[in-house]
Amino acid sequence: MVSKLPLKHLFQLPEGVIYLDGNSLGPLPTTVPDHVGAAVTDQWGNMLIRGWNDAGWMAMPTQLGDRIGALIGAPKGSVVVGDTLSIKVYQALAAAIERVPDRKVVLSDTGNFPTDLYMAKGLLDRLGQGHELRTVAPQDVAAAITDDVAVVLLTEVDYRTGRKHDMAAITKRAQDQGAVVIWDLAHSAGAIEVDLTACGAEFAVGCTYKYLNGGPGAPAFIYVRPDLIDQVDPALAGWLGHAAPFDFDLEYRAGDGIERMRVGTPPVIQMAALAKSLDAFDQVSMREIRLKSATLSDLFIELVEAKCPMLTLHSPRDAAERGSQVSFAFDHGYAAMQALIARGVIGDFRAPNVMRFGFTPLYIDETDVTRAVDILADILASKIYEAPEYQTKSRVT
Ligand SMILES: *Cc1c(COP(=O)(O)O)cnc(C)c1O
């Protein structure tokens, strides 16, 4: 099969930039500006309030949910878009806890993204029912799933190391022990193959501004296993999750199916961008994307280890155990990353010493990887990163 990848023409990337940070914020798809412009001018501008019906704004959260569902092995009607990922973590955890009322432990790992842990702790403390958030090292999760665990809340791909959990095996172990499972797919959706149906997890959440290229502030998504959705009591009982929002009942009645996980008014302009950015995934399968990202990240590791001996691999060496990113530890990592960005190779830095590089085969190819490593090797050999302008930390790293 001839690979369609990369599909660089689908993205507006600045001249001379090699973008290795699609794991934080995907680049701008070329069709988005006109489409968003039309949504603003023709829909908001001309239709005004009628846009909710005439432009189908109200149906967008479930329509986009179905399209994302197709990328993560979720059937139609099981995914809905809205809010931010932090909110969706809270909502999923609140629903999950209710399913296991006799247990008090929520298990996560120390590699989880902090907001997931903060949201979990905040919820558990407020419940005031004696719940405990227990975190163990990522590699110890399976062994820590004991019969006192109510909910296992994990991010499939570790944002710092790229290490990937075995989603199927952990889900099975948790369910065998009577626990409910929530997967955070922030670094999975659009990056690697996910099959929620096969794995059988009860809940999943994720964001759309990373590998799905929905743009800064694009909404999150939540999945609920279809057989459970009508039993879920949405913790955030917003009016748009009501069975009949425009009856303006004083009593909350949860809507049908996944609609009940909606909360408030959806971000229409941002969803317009997402509707276009998802088009890229109509052209190529997740399998093809995943295989190519493994090839690119393997090449990157090989070249960095050959040309940049001062860096230490901080990701699993086996591509099957990684997501779509590779991290290297380096004591001067922050400054070196700033110097690299100044030369047009954009990755990012995660405290305390991790240089992080994302590989998105939609717009990165072998030539980019080779060039990026040559520039990195040059920066390290010349120690240009010691220059004062690379030492000051910005608000966002
Ligand atoms: C990126 C990321 C988030 C971000 O949450 P927001 O509410 O969208 O800011 C949360 N969790 C994980 C695992 C992430 O990777």
Tens-level pLDDT at each residue, the chain (397 residues): 567 899 999 999 999 999 999 999 999 999 999 999 999 999 999 999 999 999 999 999 999 999 999 999 999 999 999 999 999 999 999 999 999 999 999 999 999 999 999 999 999 999 999 999 999 999 999 999 999 999 999 999 999 999 999 999 999 999 999 999 999 999 999 999 999 999 999 999 999 999 999 999 999 999 999 999 999 999 899 999 999 999 999 999 999 999 999 999 999 999 999 999 999 999 999 999 999 999 999 999 999 999 999 999 999 999 999 999 999 999 999 999 999 999 999 999 999 999 999 999 999 999 999 999 999 999 999 999 999 999 988 888 7
Total residue count of the chain as it appears in this document: 397
Report pLDDT for 2. Answer: 67
Which ligand 1 atom lies nearest to the CA of residue 155? 13
256 is catalytic: no
The ligand 1 site (C-beta within 6 Å) comprises 84-86, 113, 115-116, 155, 159, 184, 186-187, 207, 220
In angstroms, the CA 357 to CA 311 distance is 13
Pocket test for ligand 1, best of 21, 25, 81, 86 (most atoms within 8 A of CB): 86
322 is catalytic: no
121 is catalytic: no
Token duo for residue 305: 């280890």
Token duo for residue 84: 């931010």
CA 242 to chain centre: 27
Instruction: Return the residue matching tokens 């626990």.
Output: 179
Report pLDDT for 397. Answer: 79
163 is catalytic: no
Among residues 260, 356, 363, 368, which one is catalytic?
Answer: 356
Instruction: Return the residue matching tokens 């405990």.
Output: 132
CB 5 within 8 A of CB 286: no
Which residues, at least 6 apart from 223, have a Cβ–Cβ distance to it below 8 Å?
69, 72, 74, 78, 79, 196, 203, 204, 205
In angstroms, the CA 11 to CA 21 distance is 14
Count Cβ atoms below 10 Å from residue 87 Cβ, excluding itself.
Answer: 17
Which residues, at least 6 apart from 344, have a Cβ–Cβ distance to it below 8 Å?
16, 17, 18, 375
Token duo for residue 137: 């090292």
Report pLDDT for 393. Answer: 84
Report pLDDT for 63. Answer: 98
How far does the centroid of ligand 1 lie from the alpha carbon of residue 22, in Å? Answer: 14
- For the residues of 175-212, what is the DSSP string, one character each? HHTT-EEEEE-TTTTTTS---HHHH--SEEEEESSSTT
Which ligand 1 atom lies nearest to the CA of residue 113? 13
Any idea of the CA torsion for 95, 100, 104, 106, to the nearest 10 degrees? -50
Among residues 11, 113, 334, 385, which one is catalytic?
Answer: 113
CB 255 within 8 A of CB 281: no
Helix (H) or strand (E) holding 28: strand 28-29
| CA proximity to 280, closest of 115, 67, 103 | 67
> Measuring CA to CA, how many Å separate 254 from each of 81, 245, 259, 347?
17, 10, 8, 43
Any idea of the CA torsion for 325, 331, 334, 338, to the nearest 10 degrees? -90
Report pLDDT for 253. Answer: 97
Report pLDDT for 392. Answer: 87
Among residues 83, 109, 116, 184, which one is catalytic?
Answer: 184
In angstroms, the CA 271 to CA 65 distance is 11
Task: Label residue 130 left, alpha or beta by phi (over 0 means left) and psi (-120 to 50 means alpha).
Answer: left
Q: In what order do the strands lie in the sheet with 312-313?
A: 312-313, 325-329, 354-358, 348-350
In angstroms, the CA 187 to CA 208 distance is 10
146 burial level (CB within 10 Å; 0-12, 13-18, 19+): exposed
Count Cβ atoms below 10 Å from residue 154 Cβ, excluding itself.
Answer: 24
Token duo for residue 345: 């190779």
CA 295 to chain centre: 21
210 is catalytic: yes
In angstroms, the CA 362 to CA 315 distance is 22
In angstroms, the CA 329 to CA 350 distance is 10
Longest dimension (CA), the chain: 68
| CA proximity to 152, closest of 214, 212, 99, 218 | 99
Instruction: Return the residue matching tokens 């842990």.
Output: 117
In angstroms, the CA 347 to CA 196 distance is 30
